[in-house]
Amino acid sequence: MIGKVLIYISFAASILSMAGFFLAHSGKDKFLGMGRLFFHITSIGIITSALYLLYIILTHQFQFAYVWEQSSTDLQLPLLISTFYAGQEGSFMLWALFTAVIGIFLLNFVSKGDRLEPQVMLIYTLVLSFLTLILILKTPFHYLWEAFPKEVEFGFVPPEGRGLNPLLQNFWMSIHPPTLFIGFSSLTVPFAFAIGSLMKNEYDKWVTFSVPWILFSGGILGLGIMMGGYWAYGVLGWGGYWAWDPVENSSLIPWIVNVASLHTILSQKKTGGYKKTNLILSILAFLLVLYSTFLTRSGILGDSSVHSFVDPGAVVYLVLVIFISSFTLISLIAIIFRWKSLKDLRTESSKFFTKESFLMIGALLLCASAVVVFVGTSLPIVSKATVEADFYNKMTMPIAIFLMITMGISLYIEWRQTDSKKFYNNMILPLILSAVVTVVLIVIGLYDPLYIIFAFVSLVAFFINARLAVRIIRNGKMNFGGMFAHIGIALFFLGVIGSGRYSQETNLSLERDIPKEAFGYKFTYVGATPFMDPNNKRDTMYAFNVTIEQDNKEMTLRPVMFISSFSNGVMKNPDIANFAYKDLYISPMSLEEPEPFPKEATFDLKKGTVQKIYDLDVEFVDFDFGNMEKGGKEMASGNYTLGAILKISDGKNSETLNIKTAFANGVPSPTPSMMVNNRNYEFYFLNMSVKGEEQGGTTARVSIIDRNKNYNVSQNETLVIEASVKPFISVLWTGVVLLFAGFIVSIVRRRKEISLKFPDTVPDKKNGQKSKK
């Protein structure tokens, strides 16, 4: 009850809050207080209901359908907490929670002075209102008997929940989804600023105010996306960090647009240009978040993604469609309504060699890549088809090359007028350094012309940005965040080139204790170590120890496989050895039981049919059950002896053999039988199979070994692995870290800038000291 009531209160309060902000927007300033008050009620209501959900999860209240479905008592604390957002309802709750929390900070931020408060908060609250509406329709607070009224009687509390999907049971589950959702939630802020400025018909200030928020979204969302990549690479064993899966793509698209908007907004701050572009990009980034939610939550991509989706039902589908269409409509109406004033906003410089033009080119390139990903990802919606990863790779690579060129040279282009002599002088050193490094890369194996170009331009971008960053840091200034991010992206692409284009992989069948060589390493499977699943203490996992030897140095990698009791499926986790310039990546594929009898000498003999095997005519007559009852107690116990009667003729002699096998716990240990007059063959009875005529009928599996032949048999179990070498992947992760660091530095700097330009005013003192430059 409590949870649902809190959501209802939040929803009602959000309506009142909007009314207050709307009236304040219409000039009735005294209603601003009402808007703020009810906004706080909305936020606190959502936060409290989220805490309540957490509480019922932590206290294992399985009478709640959501708690029963997602969690169980045996999960360790971090994973238990993560069951909060393991399902649809909870992830909407998480989205609402972050939006509410960010909203409190936003209200605090915009109420300090003349910062478009009524307009921004009206739009922001509308988003929050929609989220609470979804939580009303898809509530995590249903009791079991409400969720399943026919099957479950009132008041029933199951002793145990169903538990968390083992694919989600690891460290990254605790941080990847929340990070993404913070990113998603925070993109509401620039959207609210953009629409707010359209409402107010005032297009200058909002950009300054939204820059730190845009940076925040960009940093967090980017980090969240790459965490997903690391999860897939290091834990799930996809073999790579990016598969162009629809779910990955759908969070990438808003991020790219967000980053594009960041660049054109910086331009507007400096020169006043690109006002329309900035409005449109900020709006688009948010609408794309909604689109992403629609793609991943509506079940529409069910067939085309590796992520498992639940069909959420018609209600959620409809709400999501309404959610997107409403906000698209609001945006369109706002733009059309203000079209007249927007049309006249043209202050861009007409010169080409200005920083302004290059920021625009960068933004356009980013948008072009967003369009590519958008088109590819949306295809399953409009037709019964998907696109292959190759489409994305081929299309984004040329864009990335031009992007790197822009990212490099634009730093040496001035805002108003670029002195071409100075420009060329500046370019000399980075070009020389890049050429040298490219040559080194070619020597160690880079060969594809397109990739050589890609590596070269990435290096140019890297050196230019690094050089400027060093100069700025030496001067004790703060504005090196952008350069850090650029260096990060350049390194990221260099890592992509190495690990994507030049990774090598091979499959190895490692029979126990017998070494095999690949990539200059000696791989030996030395046995498995069982251990208890540390996350749920339910499953026995097996670490398969593979020693890897090179130049007398030995190490052990331990990929894991186990059968999950949750899904009855085999789960596999890779293991990775990180070297400075490459990763050695081992994915377990399967464990093959020992095969003491070679495949080519094993036959399924059908009862009553004569089969020609080598130079023999073999007929399987019947089983010999001895005194045993067919399918009786003794057979059920698994400890018994069974025979197969074979009639064998080699042309000269005809003999009848009764070959027997003793079973212990159902496992056969066959003993050899031989014909009296023909000592060339050994006969083993391996197993029986009694099935309907359509499935093959009654058969006996026997092995007939030609004693004069050498067979390839394995007495030991065999571990099959996929081993790969991925060069420069550490460069890629370094790039991601630097990119994120760049965002952080920029946020700090831009926040400072705002407090200098627009000093906080105390909101309570009316017209006390309104900020004026």
Partner 1 sequence: MTNKIKIVIASVIVVVFIVVGFISFMDNKVEYASFVDAQKKHKTVEVKGTWVKEKDAKYDAAANTFTFYMKDDNNTEMKVVFDGAKPNNFDIATMVVAKGKVKDDTFYAKDILTKCPSKYEGTGEDVKNTYKQQ
- Which residues here bind partner 1, judged by CB under 8 A? 65, 68-69, 144, 147-148, 150-152, 156, 158-160, 162, 165, 167, 302-306, 308-311, 350, 352, 368, 372, 375-376, 379, 383-388, 390-391, 394-395, 507, 509, 566-572, 589-590, 592, 695, 718, 720, 722
Q: Which is nearer to partner 1, 601 or 747 (CB)?
A: 601
Minimum separation from the CB atom of position 62 to partner 1 (A): 8
Minimum separation from the CB atom of position 603 to partner 1 (A): 14
Contacts (Cβ under 8 Å, ≥6 apart) of 755: none
Residue type for position 170: N
Q: Which is nearer to partner 1, 238 or 531 (CB)?
A: 238
Q: How far apart are CA 100 and CA 188, in angstroms?
A: 11
Look at residues 579, 526, 518 and name the one whose alpha carbon lies nearest to residue 722: 518
Q: Which is nearer to partner 1, 217 or 587 (CB)?
A: 587
Q: Which is nearer to partner 1, 183 or 588 (CB)?
A: 588
Q: What spatial distance separates the first Cα and last Cα of the chain, rounded to whole Å?
A: 51
Q: Which is nearer to partner 1, 450 or 470 (CB)?
A: 450
Q: How far apart are CA 228 and CA 226, in angstroms?
A: 5
Q: Which is nearer to partner 1, 379 or 433 (CB)?
A: 379
Strand partners, 543: 529, 560
Minimum separation from the CB atom of position 475 to partner 1 (A): 34
Minimum separation from the CB atom of position 97 to partner 1 (A): 23
Q: Which is nearer to partner 1, 262 or 571 (CB)?
A: 571
Residue 476: count of CB within 10 angstroms of its CB: 6
Q: Which is nearer to partner 1, 69 or 356 (CB)?
A: 69
Minimum separation from the CB atom of position 688 to partner 1 (A): 16
Q: How far apart are CA 631 and CA 629, in angstroms?
A: 6
DSSP H or E segment with residue 504: strand 504-511
Minimum separation from the CB atom of position 309 to partner 1 (A): 7
SS3 640: strand
Minimum separation from the CB atom of position 701 to partner 1 (A): 12
Q: Which is nearer to partner 1, 163 or 488 (CB)?
A: 163
| CA distances, 566 to each of 61, 161, 561, 651 (Å) | 20, 11, 14, 57
Q: Which is nearer to partner 1, 28 or 346 (CB)?
A: 346
DSSP state, residue 343: H
Contacts (Cβ under 8 Å, ≥6 apart) of 716: 511, 512, 513, 514, 594
Token pair in block for residue 437: 């490094």
SS3 46: helix
Minimum separation from the CB atom of position 171 to partner 1 (A): 19
B/e letters for 683-711, b = 16+ CB within 10 Å, e = fewer, are bbbbbbeeeeeeeeebbbbbbbbbeeeee
Token pair in block for residue 660: 């027997």
Strand partners, 683: 673, 704
